[in-house]
Amino acid sequence: MLTQYSYDVFDLKEISEVEEIFQDPALIGFNVTIPYKEKILPYLDELSDEAAQIGAVNCILIQDNIKKGFNTDVFGFEKTLAVHRKDFHSSALILGNGGAAKAVQYVLGKYNIPFKTVSRNSDLNFENITETIVTENPLIIQCTPVGTFPKVEDCLNFPFEGMTEKHLVIDLIYNPENTAFLKKAAEKGAKTANGFYMLEQQAEKNWEIWNFQKK
């Protein structure tokens, strides 16, 4: 028998509104996006190993009234990194410290790639990062929403002068396809990639969870 599915948008003003969504008996799961990837945790019954270690969830499976959280951003970013990374991309800068950045941290840790986090509230921030630090870290992953449609002209305050042709710059944003951040990185000769492949791969993993983990 062919099962019919639909994929809808639940636009929440507050995370507490998720309680109402959970009341739908037909719901088998949903995705979680910014800014709720961390705030959703108290509303769940179980977490996958990755989600528990990361502290962020972007996929939820509802089975036998159990709400289990997964982090498929890990799978998507790992696939993206495998496509683009070279051996000399041996240390990284992660821009941002939200749920997506935590998935990136997890993957880099898995592959023993040392990294520094740059965020508004970290010791290394967008006010004190230098060209030298950028040059010394040839892998840069942009995990903030800055530059997302419709604010496509927005760009992080960043010392692009430190980039070289040996840099790999991955911006997790996929709309627009080419962010202001990626454009400025490309101008310095860096190899660039957006977040669309990561989006596709995490979606494939979501589908697998919703369809093959259900009894």
**Residue 13 structure tokens:** 């003003």
Contacts of 23 by beta carbon, 8 Å cutoff, 6+ apart: none
Distance CA 72, CA 92 (A): 21
The CA angle 190-195-196, to the nearest 5 degrees, is: 120
Phi, psi of 133 (to 5 degrees): -60, -40
Collapse the DSSP code of 47 into the 3-class scheme (helix H, G, I; strand E, B; otherwise coil) and give the result. Answer: strand
Active-site position among 37, 67, 68, 102: 37
DSSP 184: H
Place of tokens 């992953």: 141
Strands of 66-70's sheet, edge to edge? 29-31, 59-63, 66-70, 46-47
The question of whether 37 is a catalytic residue gets the answer: yes
Catalytic residues: 37
